[in-house]
Amino acid sequence: MTPGTARRNAVPHRERPRIGVVSLSQGTRPDDLRRGLDSVLAQQGVELDVVCVGNGWEPTGLPDGVRALALPENRGIPAGRNAGADVVEGDFVFFLDDDASIPSPTFLRDAVALFERDPSLGLVQPRVVDPTGAANPRRWVPRIRKGSPTDSSPVFSVWEGAVVLPTDVYRAVGGWGAPYFYAHEGIELAWRVWDAGRRAWYAGELVAHHPAIDPARHTEYIRLNARNRVFLARRNLPGVLRPLYVGSWAAIQLARWWRHPLRLRTWFAGVREGWTADCGPTRPMSWLTIGRMSLAGRPPVV
């Protein structure tokens, strides 16, 4: 299916929408995984096809109504999600990380209603809340001007732990970017939704639960963060914009970490890797998409 097809197709209206659900896990958080799966199985007004993908793990002890898909090795987060999406069926696909859950039993039906009311939407990310009452990280609201977390808006990146897309849009954009392995695949997914003629949407009225943790806690995260910034530019931007995007983020990191030379050394090593390593297939977005994103508030150079 081409991006143009995704642009033309309307979301089908069904009394009980069919939703394929992909839960990805390495088996290290069994209690959290069970909580998330139970929250999915409690959904009302929808038909579900649920798979738990074991990334280098054989899922066991799953609740009734959940299939297991074992991958013999850890393929990385985006490739693991793609493997699950390949085996579920539905008009929509919902990705839920194994440490996330959806507290409302009408979450999925409410998400589908957003697509039915506004056919321009191609992806919905909910508001993320730590259920213990801990402070919610600002990064969970994926926009420059954060504002109130309850305010909805178009966005140009997503928090990947709970995301809903029409299946035809997911197929048209090529799924998640497997070469990233971890980090920034949510930016590419949002960009490609825009390039398919739709909008990525942050829905402040929908809520997903997730513990508040700091992802920037190890050097591997810093390296992949930098490498994948370059991958993102190489895979999705016209050639003239690639150095602008990478350069703007280099300036941001210098401003943030000029007192932390070891972090900067790791980050710039990741940048070098990003320019030299295989980033997978490239699909530069159109200048029309760049114009639409700019008019909506964020040109893809920052």
| 31 token code pair | 């209690």
Going residue by residue through the chain, which has 302 residues, state the pLDDT in tens, using 9 for 90 and above: 444 545 445 555 568 999 999 999 999 999 999 999 999 999 999 999 999 999 999 999 999 999 999 999 999 999 999 999 999 999 999 999 999 999 999 999 999 999 999 999 999 999 999 999 888 988 899 998 899 999 999 999 999 999 999 999 999 999 999 999 998 999 999 999 999 999 999 999 999 999 987 665 578 889 999 999 999 999 999 999 999 999 999 999 999 889 999 999 999 999 999 999 999 999 999 999 999 999 998 999 87
CA pair distance 234, 282, nearest whole angstrom: 7
Backbone angles phi, psi at 23, to 5 degrees: -110, 125
| 45 token code pair | 């007004």
| 36 token code pair | 């998330």
Question: Edge to edge, what strands does the sheet with 121-129 contain?
Answer: 66-71, 47-55, 18-25, 92-97, 162-166, 121-129, 199-209, 153-155
Q: Helices H, strands E: what count in the chain?
A: 10, 8
pLDDT at 213: 77
C-alpha 20: how far from its chain's center? 16
Query: For the residues of 49-76, what is the DSSP string, one character each?
Result: EEEEEEETS---SPPTTEEEEEESS---
CATH number of 3-209: 3.90.550.10
Contact 46, 94 (CB under 8 A): no
DSSP state of 11: P
Handedness of CA 295, 150, 163, 225 (dihedral sign): positive
* Residues in a beta bridge with 125: 202
| 161 token code pair | 């732990």
Whole-Å CA distances, 248 to 245, 254, 275: 5, 10, 16
